[in-house]
């Protein structure tokens, strides 16, 4: 998943996860329960978010431009 940047992660997952940016690690917080997910790269973060959401679908906040729709 080359070329994946912070903006892409925020656009794709931003409705369910707060993704503040990268400072040595890529971090996301679930908006529904605050669980923190940490990765070494944007591609790894994307994979971990997909796994996390698959195991326990996150509640979505309505956000303009978000890839995911509220279930």
With 90 as the cut, is the pLDDT of residue 49 above it? yes
pLDDT at 6: 86
Instruction: Report helix angle 42-55 to 6-13, nearest 10.
Output: 10
- The pTM of the full predicted model, rounded to 2 decimals, is 0.72
The answer to whether residue 68 sits within a structural domain is no
- The answer to whether residue 44 sits within a structural domain is yes
- Which residue segment(s) compose the domain that 39 sits in? 6-55
pLDDT in tens, 8-19: 898 889 899 999
- Rounded to an integer, what is the distance from CA 56 to the centroid of its chain? 13
Domain count across the chain: 1
Q: Is 17 among the domain residues?
A: yes
Return the pLDDT at 46: 94
In a domain, 12, yes or no: yes
Q: Quick check: is 63 in a domain?
A: no
How many residues appear in the chain? 71
Judged by DSSP in three states, 17 sits in strand
Q: What is the pLDDT of residues 17-43, one digit of tens each?
A: 999 876 778 999 999 999 999 999 888
Within a domain: residue 62? no
pLDDT at residue 50 greater than cutoff 90: yes
Nearest to 60 by CA among 50, 49, 71: 71
Q: Is residue 70 part of a domain?
A: no
Are the C-beta atoms of residues 19 and 38 closer than 8 Å to each other?
no
Let me know if residue 13 belongs to a domain: yes
């Amino acid at each position: 998943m080359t070329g994946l940047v912070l903006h892409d992660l925020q656009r794709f997952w931003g409705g369910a996860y707060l993704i503040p940016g990268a400072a040595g690690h890529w971090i996301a917080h679930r908006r529904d329960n605050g669980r923190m997910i940490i990765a070494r790269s944007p591609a790894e973060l994307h994979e971990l978010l997909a796994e996390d959401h698959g195991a326990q679908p996150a509640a979505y906040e309505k956000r303009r431009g978000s890839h995911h729709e509220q279930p």
